[in-house]
Amino acid sequence: MKCCNCFLMLAGEVAYVAGQMINSASIEEFVGSYLHIAGYDTMSFGKLITIWYKRNTFKQLVEELAVIWPVSIKDEVAAQIKRDSLSALKLRQFLYAFWNVLGVWLYNLTPIAILLYRKMRGTPGELGFVWQLLYPFDKTQPIFHEIVYVFETFSGVISVCCMLGSDLLFMTMSSHISMLLRLLQVQIRRLATTEGRNYESDNDCYDEIISVVKIHQRLIFYINDLENAFSVVNLINVLLSSVNICCVVFTIVFLQPWMEMSDKFFLGAALTQMGIVCWYADDIYRASVGVSDAVYESGWYRTNTRCRRALLVVLQRSQKPLFFTALKFRSITLTTYSSILTTAYSYFTLLYTSYRRN
C-alpha cells in the first residue's frame, strides 16, 4: 500500500516536472514546480524500495546487534558511555522526526490556511492543492478536487514516514555500533594497567586480549555488512541532497511567497537529514580510529611478547578506518556534508545567474 501510494505520487510529480520542462523555458516555472519535493519523494521511494529489497539483510543485522548488545554493564565509566549514547540518540531521533512531521503538515495545511485568509479578507478563493502533480483527469472538478487533496495529504505523510523509517534505522544502528567501539576502547585501555601485577607471565592478560581481538573483528564484520546494506541508500542521499537544497533555497528567495514558511521547514529538514547521515558515519569513522589510540594508551609495555603480538593485530587493523560509502564511490564523513553544501551553493549560483539574465 505504501509503496503503491509513493509510486503514484512520484509518477505524478515526475510527469508534471517533465511537462514543465517540455512546455516552458522559464527557470522559475520549472524550479517552482516543486522540483525539490519531487527530489525528496524520489529519495523516499528509493529508500523504501531498498529497505524492502534488503529486508532479510536488515532483519539479520538487527538480530545480530541484539546478540552483541551490552545488556548489563557493571563498570561505571562504560555504563555512563551507554547512558550518554542512548540519551543523545533519543533526543536526536525525536527532534528529527518532529521537524519532518511538522514540515509535512505545514505543507498539507497551507492551502486551507490560504483559503481561510482570503475568506476573512473577503476576496474570492478556492481550496488549492498540496503538491504539483499531473493527473489523467481534471482535478479541479468538485468531486475530484477533494479526492486529490486527501490523496496528496496522505501521500505526503507516507513519503515522510518512509524517509524517517530509513534514516532512523540508520541512526539507531550506527549509534549503537559507535557506542560498542567506544566501550571496546575502554576495555582496551585497561589492559595490563593494574599496579604491582606481573604481566610477563600472566596468561589471564592474554585471554583478555584475545577476547578484545574477537570483539573487534566481530564489530568490523558487522560494520562492513551494515555498510553494504546502506550503500545504495547513501548513494541516493549524496546524489539528490545538493539538488534538493539548491531548489528549495531558490524557491524561498525568488518564488512561492505563500509557501515560504513550509519551504523553510523543508530546507531545515533537508539540511538535517543529510547532516545526520554524515554525522553518524563520521562518528563510526572516528570511533574505529580511536581503537588504535586505546591500544597505545593500554599497558602493553608491561606484557610479554605473546600478548604484544596479539595487541599488534588490533593496532594494525584499527589503523585502517571503517566508514560508510555511497555505493563504494566515495566515503561519507562530515567532509562529505561540507562538499554537498558547496555543490548546492554552486547550483544555486548557476540558477541565480540564469534567472537574472531572463
d(CA 264, CA 12): 24
C-alpha closest to that of 177 among 75, 316, 64: 64
> Residue 112's pLDDT band (boundaries 50, 70, 90)?
confident
HSE-CB of 175 using CA atoms within 13 angstroms? 21
Indicate the burial class of 257 (C-beta count within 10 angstroms; 0-12, 13-18, 19 or more): exposed
pLDDT higher at 137 or 195: 137
At 195, is the secondary structure helix, strand, or coil?
coil
Burial of 351 (0-12, 13-18, 19+ CB in 10 A): buried
What are the beta bridge partners of residue 332? 324
- Stretch 131-150: mean pLDDT, rounded? 80
- What is the rounded CA–CA span in Å between residue 93 and residue 165? 11
- The secondary element (H helix, E strand) that includes residue 92 is helix 76-120
Q: Are 133 and 12 in contact (CB under 8 A)?
A: yes
* Lookup result for grid cell 539538488: 243
The amino acid at 235: L
**First-to-final CA distance of the chain:** 44
CA pair distance 12, 315, nearest whole angstrom: 54
Q: How far apart are CA 342 and CA 340, in angstroms?
A: 5
Q: What is the DSSP letter of 212?
A: H
Contact 258, 313 (CB under 8 A): no
Q: What is the pLDDT of residues 277-321, one digit of tens each?
A: 888 888 888 888 888 888 888 877 777 788 888 888 888 888 888
Computed over every residue of the chain, the mean pLDDT equals: 80
- Strand positions, DSSP E, the chain: 324-325, 331-332
Segment 165-171 mean pLDDT: 87
R_g of the chain computed on alpha carbons? 26
Question: Is 70 exceeded by the pLDDT of residue 122?
Answer: yes
Whole-number Cα distances in Å, 248 to 95, 201, 266, 273: 21, 66, 8, 14
CB 130 within 8 A of CB 160: no
